[in-house]
A = this chain, B = another copy of it.
Amino acid sequence: MNEFELIAHLCRGLPTNASTRVGPGDDCAVLDLGVPGRWLLFKTDAVVEGVHFAPETDPRGVGRKALARAFSDVAAMAGTPTHALVTLGTSGARGVTWLEAVYDGLAALARQFEVAVVGGETTRTSGPTFLSVSVLGWVAADRCVLRSGARAGDGLWVTGELGGSLESGRHLGFDPRLSEARWLAETVSVHAMIDLSDGLAGDLQHVLTASGVGAELFAEAIPVSRAARECARAGGKAALAAALADGEDFELLMAVPAAEAVRLRDGWHARFPDVRLSLIGKVTAGRELRVRDRGGTRRLELDGYVHFRQP
């Protein structure tokens, strides 16, 4: 069982209630608390030393990343984050200066997006430092985008460039695509959206599974980052493989009706001239994930980045 199968297995049969619009299995939980026209988004996420950041990473980057990851999940629903809570577990080997810098990085990002950090807890651990972040946010009830709405014929679009995020440091410094996601949901009919944390192939598969569809990717259209190309030249994995399988891009992947393609491209370039937007494939009726290049079409075997494997 990999991470995704495991968590789906564990979440089977969890209790729900009438105010829960979306429970486990999407980027955020979606709750209807009775505020007219608005749903509350609720998300928790953790970063762990040795997994999501190296021991020598600038602690400001650690705090920033912990919060930015959760903001990216709010972006994937087209929402706006409003409040955050932090739990920090450490062995005490980290001095106060290090912990202050983690909080500084976190607070700076919160300020940038006008989010209140409404509490912190510390706890002891004998193991690596971890930082667990919970975030609340709002989304307009008629604009909330799930993973499950992709339909055959939709175009698949991705923001930015993919691959090499760990090598380039993007995983620490990225800006979550919050305004981009809101603009998208306001401008076109986004059928499905996800943020790319586990790699394009893996995250696209989440959308396909949730929507009960397949997809065909256009290999030449996938926007490969400079870092992934440089790594490939230096003897690392092929650049396309990096763009497909590297984790932690924190870009948006979405399914949009084909008829809205021109309006989307036009509007995007006017609104976000510095951010690439690429049409990288289409949703298909079959359940397979296939990739097409000059050599033909084949089934995509590449796994996304999987954080966790269970024996």
Interface residues of A (CB under 8 A from B): 1, 3, 6-7, 9-11, 13-17, 19-20, 22-25, 28-29, 31, 33-35, 40, 42-48, 50-52, 82-83, 85-87, 89, 92, 95-96, 99-100, 103, 107, 110-111, 114-128, 130, 132, 134, 136, 307-311
Closest residue of chain B to A128 (Cβ to Cβ) is B127
**Which of B1, B24, B31, B309 touches A120 (beta carbons < 8 Å)?**
B24
Closest residue of chain B to A48 (Cβ to Cβ) is B125
Q: How far is the CA of A114 from the CA of B14 in the complex (A)?
A: 11
Q: How far is the CA of A93 from the CA of B94 in the complex (A)?
A: 26
CB distance from A211 to the nearest CB of B (A): 19
By the criterion CB–CB under 8 Å, are A127 and B127 in contact? yes
Closest residue of chain B to A16 (Cβ to Cβ) is B116
Chain B residues with CB under 8 A of A52: 123
Secondary structure type dominating chain A contacts? mixed
By the criterion CB–CB under 8 Å, are A89 and B123 in contact? no
In the complex, the 10 A-B pairs of residues with the closest C-beta atoms, listed nearest first: A127-B127, A29-B118, A132-B132, A134-B134, A14-B117, A17-B116, A44-B85, A124-B308, A24-B119, A23-B118
Chain B residues with CB under 8 A of A7: 120-122
**Which of B16, B31, B96 touches A9 (beta carbons < 8 Å)?**
B96
By the criterion CB–CB under 8 Å, are B121 and A44 in contact? yes
**Which of B10, B17, B309 touches A100 (beta carbons < 8 Å)?**
B10
**Which of B28, B96, B118, B310 touches A6 (beta carbons < 8 Å)?**
B96
By the criterion CB–CB under 8 Å, are A19 and B87 in contact? no
By the criterion CB–CB under 8 Å, are B119 and A15 in contact? no
List 19 other contacts, CB 8 Å, given A10-B122, A29-B85, A125-B127. A7-B120, A14-B107, A16-B116, A16-B118, A17-B83, A19-B116, A20-B116, A42-B118, A42-B136, A44-B134, A45-B87, A48-B89, A51-B123, A95-B310, A96-B310, A122-B307, A122-B308, A123-B308, A132-B132
**Which of B23, B28, B127 touches A116 (beta carbons < 8 Å)?**
B23
By the criterion CB–CB under 8 Å, are A310 and B42 in contact? no
Chain B residues with CB under 8 A of A14: 103, 107, 110, 116-118, 120
Known: A125-B127, A132-B87. A20 touches B118 (CB 8 A): yes
Chain B residues with CB under 8 A of A107: 13-15
Which of A47, A110, A124 gathers most chain B CB within 10 Å?
A124
By the criterion CB–CB under 8 Å, are A121 and B45 in contact? yes
Q: How far is the CA of A191 from the CA of B48 in the complex (A)?
A: 40
Which of A24, A48, A115, A121 gathers most chain B CB within 10 Å?
A121
In the assembled complex, 7 residue pairs joining A and B whose CB atoms fall closer than 8 Å, in A order, are: A22-B118, A24-B120, A43-B85, A45-B121, A46-B132, A89-B130, A95-B310
By the criterion CB–CB under 8 Å, are A15 and B115 in contact? yes
Chain B residues with CB under 8 A of A89: 46, 48, 130
**Which of B17, B42, B115 touches A114 (beta carbons < 8 Å)?**
B17
Which of A7, A114, A119 gathers most chain B CB within 10 Å?
A119
